[in-house]
Structure 1
Amino acid sequence: MLGIGIDWAEEFHDVAFGTVEKGVIEQFRIEHGPSGVATLIERALRLEPDPAEIRVVLETRHGLLVEALIDAGFAVVPVNPDLVARRRGPARKKDDAEDARICCLLALDRHAMLKTLIPHGDIGGELRAIGRDDERAARDQRRLLNRLRADLQTTYPAALTLAGSDLGAPTVLRLLERWPSQPELAEASREDLVAFARAGRHGWPDRFADQVEHALAVPGLPTRDYLVRAKAAGIRLAAVQLLALHDARRGWEKRMAELLLGGPRSGRDHTVKEPDPGKAFPGGDIYLSFPGLGDRLAARVAGEIGEHIAQFDTPNAQQCYAGRAPVTRRSGKNDFVVARRLAHNRYLGDAVHQWAFCSLTRSGWAREFYDTKITTGKSHHAAIRALGNRWLEILWHCLTKGVAYDENIHVTNRNRALGRAA
């Protein structure tokens, strides 16, 4: 067996080769590019012709370097950077070549409980990438909406009156893009407002014009003219950005549904008429059968877990990966529980947290579980974490058995486990 340790960077990578008999035998540096990676693969195959017997340890599980090593047939083992840091010695001095040597020694230690990376397939990889982009876009939307609301409160109160509780509505954003200040909107005629509503396919153009006139007639505190002029360009920019984010997220949501079920949805019932199992994510219908999981959340959870549920030996392994499983610390007389693991997949953890919250209004036992935790003195987030931990356990059993979630079956089993009548 050949062990390879890599300390990766953006421009170059430090590499260490080693064998079980001799330990680390050579160290060198390669450039991050096709020629450098090809050199690494060629030198590794020269020492060990069988790619399956080459074990690579590095501190990341994503990127072009990881994909190239997987395509070459190597066993890639990603590790947490803290694991390498703990083996640097008392001083823990950071050195790229030394980190590569430590990774090489980890690769040679078959007793180390390190799991080989199981890469995502094409469907799972696309689903994960779209889900992460959608999650980042959702954060950008909240940030831009908060900033836009603050600007409108000081210079454009009529827009807030018109928007009501839905400032991110496309009609409101298009109106701010065209008339980014209240004086400009006040100069618009009723015919302009009706034509604008019709161009945006508003259902009631005349009613929209009445709403705008009513919002302009609402008395408010005076605004500074210089501030109105200064904020107009920023308001228009925020509206344009929010419209672009809205369109992108709608396209992503449509693509998520296609990847989960193997075909585009159509009709009022939003069902897939002719699903193609070969183009569907494995178990996509199982994810969508859970209460609280729509297309977006189901795609985020499924994309982070991946197509191979067998990589998690137990439900606890999946819970630890999502950071939902509590960690017990015992030493002498001290005994306390850490709320969640520091090393976990944060994208999956955030998605499960939202899933648990959304399930409160769609699952009777989930609401009962949450209320019980609150009654015992747990905080809201602690109760949601515990509920998410339970949902992951149920999800693992459904995926391993290949069955959709059934609320009645789960409630019956839960009541039997609790020793009470259904």
Structure 2
Amino acid sequence: MIYCGIDWAEKTHDVALVDDSGRLLAKRHITDDMAGYKILLDLLAEYGDTEETPIPVAIETSRGLLVAVLRTGKRPVFAINPMAAARYRDRHAVSRKKSDPGDALVLANILRTDIHAHRPLPADSELARAVAVLARAQQDATWNRQQMSNQLRSLLREYYPAALAAAAIWQNGLCRPEIREFLKAAPTPVMARRLTRSQITAALKRAGRKRAIEADTERLREALRTDWAHQPPLVEDALGKQMLAVLLQLEAACTAADNLAKAVEEAFVQHEDAEVILSFPGLGAQLGARVLAEIGDDRERFADARGLKAYAGSSPITRASGKKSAITRRWVKNDRLNHAGYLWAFAALTSSPGAKAHYRRRRDGHGDWHASALRNLFNRMIGQLHHCLQQHELFDEQAAFPAPPALEVSAA
């Protein structure tokens, strides 16, 4: 058996091949281009890499063109956590020396000694991987949009509270196109007080508003004409220019989030698992795509629901030593899936009577806090999702949350 380890970098990579005894068979220093990839594939083929007997490869990343090239065919690729690789390095050298060729050798030996303890990259379909790219990008764009919105709010508090009062009539108002158009027309409080009804109405129409324009015009005009404290004129003008610069970044973030949201929905509905995922209460196209992005569609990835629950960080972990034992939540988990699970469980409370009853039992009967009760609900529902995806069944409220026996007897 041959094992391959690759220490990757931005421009070059180091490759090492070892046999069952740990003997170094070959090492190469390749470039990060097609010529370097060809050298790597030829080296693997020279030592017996075929479709029937692929050589497993260990590398410290799961992304990039190099990984995409390695994943062609049936070759198993193991993404080793850099922290785990650093611990293995101490097994081979107590002097704490480090080199790129040495790290490639360490990665190869990880597979030689502990391949059973590591999981290869899942064999997800091309569509599932595309959904993952779009869903993660949309999630990042949403977080970036919120960050820019918070930055704009902090700036407006320094000199323009009237704009915040005007945006308060809408939820997440600073991200609304109406407020963005208004701030472009009046970047300072002095300019805002000079706006006429027709100018405010024109700004609302440029933002795409077609209903309740007159009512919103009056609310905006009233908010702008309220007495507020002012910065000195020159300082106010300077802050207005800074605000316009931040506003451009917020507009770009809003546009990116909206465009990616459309792309996510178009790709997600094409997947065969979309019907099953969307049948669950609390999961829409955006949130469902995020769940699919993190769990993938490789049915062999998780042997049972317990593995998926541990991966999502929803199941508790026990820490025991001697007579002491503590049950706590997991810290090592897929943060994106865990975040999506919190939103999923929270949304399910209003769309599933069984989910709401389960949440109330955790809060009232077990004394859980809000986050703990939601995590417990997510733990139960993601186990149900694992079953439904394996059997390709739709969500069934009665099967997922059956009535307690006492209630069934009383109803009879």
* TM-score, length of structure 1 as denominator length: 0.87
The residue number in structure 1 matching 2:363 is 374
2:204 aligned with 1:184 = no
**Aligned ranges for residues 19-34 of structure 1 at < 5 Å?**
19-20=19-20, 23-34=23-34
Gaps spanning 5+ residues in structure 1: where? 262-279
Question: Offset at 1:289?
Answer: 1.3
Deviations 1:259-289 (A, max 9, x none): 222xxxxxxxxxxxxxxxxxx1121011111
The residue number in structure 2 matching 1:265 is none
2:238 aligned with 1:249 = no
Deviations 1:24-64 (A, max 9, x none): 32333222221112111111101114244211012222221
The residue number in structure 2 matching 1:195 is 202
Q: Aligned equivalents of 1:187 and 1:111: distance in 2? A: 71
The residue number in structure 2 matching 1:151 is 155
- Quick one: percent identity of the two aligned structures? 29
SS in 1 for 2:26: strand
Q: Aligned equivalents of 1:132 and 1:416: distance in 2? A: 42
Question: Offset at 1:221?
Answer: 2.6
Read off the aligned partner of 1:118 and give its amino acid letter.
P
Question: Offset at 1:189?
Answer: 3.0
Preserved contact between residue 177 and residue 235 of structure 1 (Cα < 8 Å): no
Change in CA separation of 1:30 and 1:420 when aligned onto 2, cut-off 3 Å:
farther
The residue number in structure 1 matching 2:317 is 327
Q: How many residues were matched structurally? A: 402
Gaps spanning 5+ residues in structure 2: where? none
Preserved contact between residue 22 and residue 109 of structure 2 (Cα < 8 Å): no
Question: Offset at 1:133?
Answer: 1.2
**Aligned ranges for residues 44-55 of structure 1 at < 5 Å?**
44-51=44-51, 52-55=53-56
Q: Aligned equivalents of 1:179 and 1:135: distance in 2? A: 31
2:214 aligned with 1:206 = yes
The residue number in structure 2 matching 1:311 is 301
SS in 2 for 1:329: strand
Q: Aligned equivalents of 1:111 and 1:233: distance in 2? A: 58
The residue number in structure 1 matching 2:15 is 15
2:246 aligned with 1:238 = yes
Q: Aligned equivalents of 2:410 and 2:117: distance in 1? A: 43
Preserved contact between residue 41 and residue 72 of structure 1 (Cα < 8 Å): no
Q: Aligned-residue CA RMSD in angstroms? A: 2.5
Question: Offset at 1:119?
Answer: 3.8
SS in 1 for 2:255: helix
From 221, 224, 242, the equivalent of 1:216 is 224
Read off the aligned partner of 2:109 and give its amino acid letter.
L
Question: Offset at 1:421?
Answer: 7.0
**Aligned ranges for residues 96-135 of structure 1 at < 5 Å?**
96-109=100-113, 112-135=116-139
Change in CA separation of 1:93 and 1:348 when aligned onto 2, cut-off 3 Å:
farther
Q: Aligned equivalents of 1:25 and 1:131: distance in 2? A: 42
Read off the aligned partner of 1:167 and give its amino acid letter.
L
Q: Aligned equivalents of 1:173 and 1:201: distance in 2? A: 12
The residue number in structure 2 matching 1:264 is none
The residue number in structure 1 matching 2:377 is 387
Question: Offset at 1:131?
Answer: 1.1
Deviations 1:147-175 (A, max 9, x none): 21222222222212221142321111111
Q: Aligned equivalents of 2:122 and 2:301: distance in 1? A: 7
Q: Aligned equivalents of 2:406 and 2:299: distance in 1? A: 25
Question: Offset at 1:94?
Answer: 4.2
Q: Aligned equivalents of 2:120 and 2:234: distance in 1? A: 61
The residue number in structure 2 matching 1:353 is 342
Q: Aligned equivalents of 2:178 and 2:74: distance in 1? A: 52
Question: Offset at 1:17?
Answer: 0.4
The residue number in structure 1 matching 2:271 is 281
Change in CA separation of 1:319 and 1:217 when aligned onto 2, cut-off 3 Å:
same
Change in CA separation of 1:134 and 1:84 when aligned onto 2, cut-off 3 Å:
same
The residue number in structure 2 matching 1:259 is 267
Question: Offset at 1:186?
Answer: 2.2
From 121, 129, 137, the equivalent of 2:141 is 137
SS in 2 for 1:385: helix
Preserved contact between residue 320 and residue 326 of structure 2 (Cα < 8 Å): yes
Q: Aligned equivalents of 1:225 and 1:8: distance in 2? A: 55
SS in 2 for 1:71: coil
Read off the aligned partner of 1:151 and give its amino acid letter.
L
Question: Offset at 1:242?
Answer: 2.4
SS in 2 for 1:258: helix
Question: Offset at 1:366?
Answer: 2.2
Q: Aligned equivalents of 1:99 and 1:218: distance in 2? A: 66
